[in-house]
Amino acid sequence: MDHGKKERIRQADTLMKIISPVLTHGADGTLFSAMPKGDEDKWARANKDKYAALEAVGRTLCGAAPWLNTKQSDPYEEEQRQKYADLARKTIADITDPDSPDYRPFGVTTEENGGNPFCQSLVDAAFLSQGIIRGKEELFDKLPDKTKKDLIRCLADSRKVRPAHNNWLLFSGMVEAALFTLGEEPDLMRVDYCLSQHEQWYKGDGAYGDGAAFHFDYYNSYVILPMIVDIARIFEPFFPEGGYGRRRYEQAKQRSARYAAVLERLIAPDGTFPPVGRSITYRTGAFHALSQAAYLGNIPEGLHKAQIREALGSVIRRCFDGDGNFYENGFLKTGLCGDQPGLGELYICAGSLYLCTTGFLQLGLTEDDEFWSSPYEPPTSALIWSGKDHPADHAIN
């Protein structure tokens, strides 16, 4: 068995281990009751009774969708893909059915949210939306008619939530992208505003501020660049004036590719990366933008697919192969590479952690893709620190 195939098997097995408890319990209508609650006081203060199940499902499907949506040539992997795709459809039915114990409203008014206008349900409606877009054939087209209607109703209901004036603007735009993809009329003002406002927050060299301020964290990867790319791509035809939509999409791809190149260089030869900024317990979600670049073929100049494969593979092993990452019932524990609850902010719960699946988008590429079939190439950091010569890195505007 060649190296790339072995690496694919390792990554696919890890993804299945991660998503299994969410989709198994989601399909049975027992997701909320089965989820670890952790610190009960913290859970209550963060209102997780209202959002935890949607968090787990939205984030799981955001990252797993490309794999769930792609027929595989390996018989075992294809059997597992079909199994989990079926569980995913049942899970979507579960969280969108008002009669299900896992259901919570996607749209909550300020009054219903204890006076807080910024409701978490919008965040995870957006991650679910991104997953539906990435896996529409399996995650929407094959749904029963009732579930299709329930899903559209729930996503549209999230419009009640006012986004904060930061990366949350993209959550509103992402929901509009999904509604349009599912045949509904989009609110183009939400779309144009989220993209135009982020243009005002661009800081250079592929990075945006999270709002007006710049933070040293991974939110350009967790949320900002992947959502800008997907929203700009879907709505490119809606802004034809002077080629505006096309230029905006091409610019988004260029910036995302640059940021992906930076992310790849941040991965050390041993698979570690700087544990800086908030939400670090999203683990491999820090490499969402790099994984998306590989999945979409938006490869940074001077970087090869095999290098990205090896870099992502080393991070996946570092984050998940050790002891202490999972509870006995299979759910993830809070941490970066183990049981590290001190790394989790107030808003982090068991459901939040499943944004880690966005580091696995490359599994949406078939086994015969160059990403998997290419021979081993060391990632950039490993190559340079081995003493070999390499072209210098350069910023973009």
Q: Is 175 a member of any domain?
A: yes
- Tell me if 233 is assigned to some domain: yes
Domain-located, residue 394: no
Distance CA 384, CA 269 (A): 10
In a domain, 390, yes or no: no
Confidence of residue 141 (pLDDT cuts 50, 70, 90): very high
Task: Find out whether 310 and 376 touch, Cβ atoms under 8 Å.
Answer: yes
Is residue 34 in some structural domain? Answer: yes
pLDDT of residue 31: 98
Could you give the number of structural domains in the chain?
1
Mean pLDDT of the chain: 95
Q: Which of 141, 135, 142 is nearest to 69 (CA)?
A: 135
Q: Give the whole-number percent of the chain exceeding pLDDT 70.
A: 99
Contact 306, 377 (CB under 8 A): yes
Confidence of residue 44 (pLDDT cuts 50, 70, 90): confident
> Domain range holding 62?
3-385
- pLDDT of 391 reads 95
Q: Residue 200: what pLDDT?
A: 97
Beta strands in the chain (DSSP E): 202-204, 207-208
List, for residues 204-263, the tens digit of each pLDDT value. 999 999 999 999 999 999 999 999 999 999 999 998 877 889 999 999 999 999 999 999
- Between the alpha carbon of residue 22 and those of residues 98, 351, 380, the distances in Å are 19, 9, 35
Mean pLDDT of 292-314: 97
- The verdict on residue 395 lying in a domain is no
- Under 8 Å between Cβ of 190 and 141: no
Distance separating alpha carbons of residues 105 and 365, to the nearest angstrom: 34
**Per-residue confidence band for 108, with pLDDT thresholds at 50, 70 and 90:** confident
Residue 334 maps to a domain: yes
CATH number at residue 256: 1.50.10
* Residue 140 within a domain: yes
Confidence check: pLDDT of 110 > 70: no
Per residue in 376-387, pLDDT tens?
A: 999 999 999 999
Residue 128: pLDDT band (50, 70, 90) is: very high
State the Cα angle at 124 between 22 and 66, rounded to 5°: 65
Stretch (H or E) spanning 203:
strand 202-204
What pLDDT digit, counting tens, does each position of 163-191 carry?
Answer: 999 999 999 999 999 999 999 999 999 99
- Short-list 240, 310, 225, CA closest to 10: 310
Site of tokens 């054939």? 137
